[in-house]
Homo-oligomer: A and B are copies of this chain.
Amino acid sequence: MSLRVVFLGTSGSVPTLKRSLPSVVVQCSREQLMFDCGENVQRQMMQAKVSFHRKMIVLITHLHGDHVLGLPGLLQTMALMDRKEPVQIYGPAGLKDFLICTKETLNFGLTFPVEIFEIISEGVVCDEEEYRIITTKTNHAVESYAFAFVERPRPGKFYPKKALARGVVAGELWSKLQHGEEIKLPNDTVVRPSDVMGPTRSGRKIVYTGDTKPFESFASFAHGADLIIHDCTFDDALTEKAAVDGHSTPSQAASQAKAAHAKQLVLSHISARYPNANLLLDQARKVFPNSILAEDFMELELPLSE
């Protein structure tokens, strides 16, 4: 499947003219996942041409306003657009209260089901055909979760020549082998998928930290990620402030990516104090060279691994 990551909001706490409040969308097949849902997400979606109608799962890292205040307006707008498809929302305890109280005090109707799931433990939070979402607690000022999008492993490469050599002609039998079934030929020979295919290929992995200072178990949680989108609120000179507020600096984010043996790091949740955040990028690259700086409307295409 194709896998596109769209950055809708990349500031932390307070928006700026250049950066809206946190939200990242991962588009895969015919559905999309939204990580955090900051205020103004609707207009950011419009500008980035992110669909209001697709199958959608929203994952909220924590209940600070900058990460969640876009939700009521988004749901309301979806209803005004006559959405029918359900929206599933995962987040910490309290999420349900927040959504119910805004819905009740503002008295808005919905045209589609909203399914709210409060996270009660670490591990798999949703288990879809093509991927799973796994969560772990982070180290922030309030209960907060990081999420890993983990694509299921794909079958190995199919070698038509090997199939033909074993007398399997193109057509339905090839498809069965590609889908993991062993087949029996008219002459009773059994052909197994492993006879005509390469080794299973690992799926892609994207980790979204939300707000956090560094924590020990992150390396194993994010191990081998193709992409880590990491809190990078303050520069290295403000390491103490970052610790107090439960945030990370560039060197810390980069060390986490390095420890996890990630392929690429994106620094996000940038404080409004950096109109130009190149300083953050420079500090990260000293530790983890394949770092980039998140920008609103930046899009990354994650190629299939071979």
Complex Cα distance A80/B272, Å?
A: 11
Task: Please tell me which stretch of A15-23, A180-188, A258-266 contacts chain B, meaning at least 4 of its Cβ atoms lie within 8 angstroms of it.
Answer: A15-23
- Measured in the bound complex, the distance between the Cα atoms of B147 and A294 in whole Å is 43
What residues of B have a CB within 8 angstroms of the CB of A142 in the complex? 107
| Chain B residues within 8 Å of A46, by CB | 15-17
Residues of A within 8 Å of B, CB-based: how many? 36
With the chains together, A73 CA to B71 CA distance in Å?
12
- The reply to whether the CB of A101 lies closer than 8 angstroms to some CB of chain B is yes
Judge whether A121 is part of the interface by a CB distance below 8 angstroms.
no
Judge if A64 is at the interface, Cβ distance under 8 Å: yes
Interface residue? A70 (CB, 8 A): yes
Bound-state Cα–Cα, A77 to B20, Å = 13
Q: Which of B13, B16, B105 contacts A98 (CB 8 A)?
A: B105
Which chain B residues border A13 with CB–CB below 8 Å? 77, 80
Distance in Å: Cβ of A135 to nearest Cβ of chain B: 20
Q: Per-residue CB proximity of A68-112 to B under 8 Å, as 1/0?
A: 111011001100110000000000001001100110011110000
Does residue A65 face the partner (Cβ distance < 8 Å to B)? yes
Q: Taking the complex as formed, is A39 at the interface, i.e. its CB lies under 8 A from any CB of chain B? A: yes
